Chain A
Amino acid sequence: SQELEQSPQSLIVQEGKNLTINCTSSKTLYGLYWYKQKYGEGLIFLMMLQKGGEEKSHEKITAKLDEKKQQSSLHITASQPSHAGIYLCGADLPSLRFGAGTRLTVKP
């Protein structure tokens, strides 16, 4: 089955800074999901990417699936404290396997 590695494991940024989180797969990705999770809570769907080279944006969050379809990046522009949480990538449709997550802290 799919193995997903996320980097970095944790990230602390100053409010207003940009940041990137990466998700690398052991296999070709045919559907890559990004979720956000606050500690002890459910997963909030951010976006799904299916095609190599596809890029989607939602508010200040942009995600891209690379051409070779084995890596995805999530980029946050001008981070806010509300962006804090754990970002998870999931793949291996239809029954998702997840990476370990990247814990983001945004300092005001």
Chain B
Amino acid sequence: EPEVTQTPSHQVTQMGQEVILRCVPISNHLYFYWYRQILGQKVEFLVSFYNNEISEKSEIFDDQFSVERPDGSNFTLKIRSTKLEDSAMYFCASMGAGYEQYFGPGTRLTVT
């Protein structure tokens, strides 16, 4: 069964450093998303991406964040200068024509 994959599973970085989180969505899906979940809190929407551009973003997704689909398979989230409060699980999701949205296993980002 096709699935969304994410790498790395865990990333530890120092405050102020740049991180890139990677996702491989399901191959025939067209809509891609990033969400985050701070420990013990709700899953929060960050950004959606369709047709090689951002279609919607939340107030969390400020200038420190960017997304890219550098090739036909990868979808990346970059955080330019990480802050302590960026520590969270980051989930990638993809959605096909049937509106079923599948999530990856997540990347745990720890900012020290």
Real complex partners, A and B?
Answer: yes
Q: Across the A-B interface, how many residue pairs have beta carbons closer than 8 Å?
A: 55
Report Cα–Cα, A98/B43, bound state, in Å.
6
Task: Report if A76 contacts B (CB, 8 A).
Answer: no
| Chain A residues closer than 8 Å to B95, beta-carbon distance | 94
Please indicate the chain B residues that have their CB under 8 angstroms from the CB of A44 in the complex: 103
Give the docked Cα–Cα distance between A35 and B42 (Å): 13
Does B25 have its Cβ within 8 Å of any Cβ on chain A?
no
The count of residues in chain A whose C-beta lies closer than 8 Å to any C-beta of chain B is: 23
A30-43 to B contact mask, C-beta < 8 Å, 1/0: 01010101001111
Taken residue by residue from 85 to 104, chain A's Cβ proximity to chain B (1 for < 8 Å, 0 otherwise) reads as 00010100111111111000
Does residue A18 face the partner (Cβ distance < 8 Å to B)? Answer: no
B42 touches A96 (CB 8 A): no
What separation, in Å, do the CA atoms of A45 and B45 have in the docked complex?
A: 16
* Chain A residue at minimal CB-CB distance from B44: A98
Interface residues, chain A, CB within 8 Å of chain B? 31, 33, 35, 37, 40-45, 48, 50, 88, 90, 93-101
Please report B residues at the A interface, Cβ cutoff 8 Å. Answer: 31, 33, 35, 42-45, 48, 55-56, 58, 89, 91, 93, 95, 99-106, 108
